[in-house]
Amino acid sequence: MSARAAADIPFASTVHRHTRLVHATALGVLNAPAEADDVAQETFIAAWVHRDAIDDPAAIAGWLATTARRRAVDVLRTASRRTLVELDESVAASDDHAPARVAERAELVRAVREVLGSMPRSQRRCWELRHLDGHSYHDVAAELDLPVSTVRGMLARARRALERELAAWR
């Protein structure tokens, strides 16, 4: 057995021993199993890349949990930025480029962002997948690992919140 193969055995046991911790940490932040799987994989890749820099083997669980939490937060930030860009692009631009109309459109986008930002993450994610990405109810349910009935309820609550908070814009 080569020296490299012998070094891989302890790493494989580390992955096996800490997979549940890393996945649970990511899932706690993201509340989305598929995204948590991706974060767990990225965390173990980072551990492999930095394996020589981890001096204390007893500290590996803490390092993995911290790395998973940070990567999960990065996923949330990226998703939030993506949503804001898509929201800007999805609001139809006015043919009237008068300063008042441009300011009004910007204020509407700000108001929608504020309402979406106040929603629970899973509800906002349902709305994003349905209305920004154009997914079906079944696709949203599959993506978020939720029953279709839950997705329908979340979308109904999201629509009511938007209608209520944006009533002045009608």
The tokens describing 107, both together, are 């204020």
Q: What pLDDT band is residue 1 in, cutting at 50, 70 and 90?
A: very low
Residue 21 is predicted with a pLDDT of 92
Q: What pLDDT band is residue 104 in, cutting at 50, 70 and 90?
A: confident
Angle between helices 148-165 and 137-144 (to 10 degrees): 110
Q: What pLDDT band is residue 97 in, cutting at 50, 70 and 90?
A: low
- In the chain, pLDDT over 70 holds for what percent of residues? 79
Helices marked H in the chain: 3-30, 33-49, 60-90, 99-118, 121-127, 137-144, 148-165
Q: What digits encode the pLDDT tens for the residues 114-138?
A: 888 888 888 888 888 888 888 899 9
Q: What digits encode the pLDDT tens for the residues 138-166?
A: 998 988 888 999 999 999 998 888 888 88
Instruction: Measure Cα distances from 94 to 97, 102, 170 in Å.
Output: 7, 8, 16
Query: 112: closest CA among 48, 50, 58, 161?
Result: 161
Phi then psi for residue 32, to 5 deg, are -145, 105
Domains by residue range for the chain, with CATH = 3-76 (1.10.1740.10), 94-169 (1.10.10.10)
Q: What digits encode the pLDDT tens for the residues 10-53?
A: 778 888 899 999 989 888 887 778 788 888 898 888 888 887 77
